[in-house]
Amino acid sequence: MRRLYYIIPLSLLLCTSFFSCEKTESVKVITPDSPILPAQVMDYRDIKLSQAFGSQFNNSNPLSQFLDGESINFSGSAKAPNPKVTNEGATLGRVLFYDKKLSLNNSISCAGCHHQSKGFADGLSSSPGFEGRLTPRSSMGIVNAALNNGMFWDSREDNVNAMTLNPVQNHIEMGMEDLDFLEKKLVSVDYYPELFKKAFGTSGITKERISSAIAQFLCSMVTSNSKYDQGVSLNFSNFTALEKMGQDLFLNKANCASCHGGANFSVANSNMFSGYESTKGTANIGLDIVYKDQGFGQGQFKIPSLRNIGLTAPYMHDGRFANLEQVIKHYNEDIKPHKSLDRKFLRNGAPIKLGLKQIEIDALVAFLNTLTDETFVKDPRYSDPFKP
């Protein structure tokens, strides 16, 4: 297997009196050309859902909603299903997700803006794409995507299957506007025909198959092992007093769960929040009086899942808040009186002030951090196959 070696000259830095200059060059291995895959395909269907999910679904088998293409919606209307996840399909999707060849100039993969260690966000308020130009919005974490009704900050796509080729084509992100060209390009990459054959039975490479494989991979990324998940069956005896206080505030006084609800802490997985049907699960939370970016319209943005939220800073569609404390201070005292402000934030025609004390703000932050799933961000099934 060929590998690219980059010589990083460290001489300037390390050439001190006690180092011999000849020995100060280090060799760094950069991404190999071909993915390194395990001999035995990994089991993407081996997922243990916590009891948080068991009780939330009208369907008695929530796993089928993640892995067999059934997607959940809050309106009860039929929508195009996601593909069924197979181990070979998700494996191909993993390779595609991490492959820079999906971009026009081979400079960026999906993972360039979606880092596993950051819950698949990237820590930036806008991200450089294939030509270094910045995305107008902050990258999003990828979390139980099969449960998302609306994809992207403005919920413009209905489900994972519909959105996967979108970033590839997007001129800022990856620049591959001509998908026929992408098909031809991948045919010429030696490892793809075999991977497509394993995933789909024949080696043909089509945009539909590319899309399906990436969608399978995204749907297989299930997070269900946070401290919160572990606590569900223990009556949260694993929580600290501060975390319990935060949970109580989240559900009651601060009313966060009225939007970030259900097992996925988002609007999309419960029929209870049907008030958001007409806005595709978006709401205006009073960030601004004048919006540069209108989102779904009138400053309404997707009500995102809060799973792994401790990993995905900075926050909001434009990454304006650096940490969770700033987010909570917004809800506590800084909601702006926009004409489309969600009614939940109005009292007598004016934005509410929650009146949270510092200890309550700390408690909410502590509770939000219980939603982090450390096993998810280390799971080899979702890791970079091009990393040597």
Per rule CB under 6 A, is residue 340 in the interface with ligand HEC? Answer: no
| Rounded Cα gap, residues 31 and 200, in angstroms | 27
Task: Please say which residue, 14 or 379, places its beta carbon nearer to ligand HEC.
Answer: 379
What six digits make up the tokens of 130? 């294939």
Residue whose pair of structure tokens reads 């024949």 in the numeric block: 202
Which of 232/371 has CB closer to ligand HEC? 371
Which residue do the tokens 């609306």 mark? 150
How many residues bind ligand HEC, per CB under 6 A?
A: 52
Task: Name the residue nearer to ligand HEC (CB basis): 10 or 211.
Answer: 211
221 contacts ligand HEC (rule: CB under 6 A): no
Contact 123, 115 (CB under 8 A): yes
Tell how far CA 88 is from the center of its chain: 22
d(CA 41, CA 210): 19
What's the min distance (Å) between Cβ of 222 and ligand HEC? 14
Task: Give the C-alpha separation, 288 to 85, whole Å.
Answer: 40
The least CB distance from residue 342 to ligand HEC, in Å, is: 4
Whether a cis peptide bond, with omega within 30° of 0, leads into 32 is no
State which of positions 125-184 bind ligand HEC (CB under 6 A). Answer: 127, 129, 135, 137, 139-140, 142, 145, 148, 151-154, 164, 167-168, 173-174
Per-residue mark of binding to ligand HEC, 284-323 (x: CB under 6 A): -x-x-------------x-xx-x--x--x--xxx------
Tell me which of 95, 259, 361, 371 binds ligand HEC, using CB under 6 A. Answer: 259
- The whole-angstrom separation of Cα 220 and Cα 239 is 28
116 binds ligand HEC (CB under 6 A): no
- Residue type at position 70: E
Binds ligand HEC (CB under 6 A): choice among 146, 218, 361, 371? 218
Amino acid residing at 167: P
* Count of residues in the chain: 388
Taking phi over 0 as left and psi of -120 to 50 as alpha, with beta for the rest, 265 belongs to: left
- Which residues in this chain contact ligand HEC in the complex, by CB under 6 A? 97, 102, 108, 110, 112-114, 127, 129, 135, 137, 139-140, 142, 145, 148, 151-154, 164, 167-168, 173-174, 214, 218, 254-256, 258-260, 283, 285, 287, 301, 303-304, 306, 309, 312, 315-317, 324, 327-328, 331, 342, 344, 364
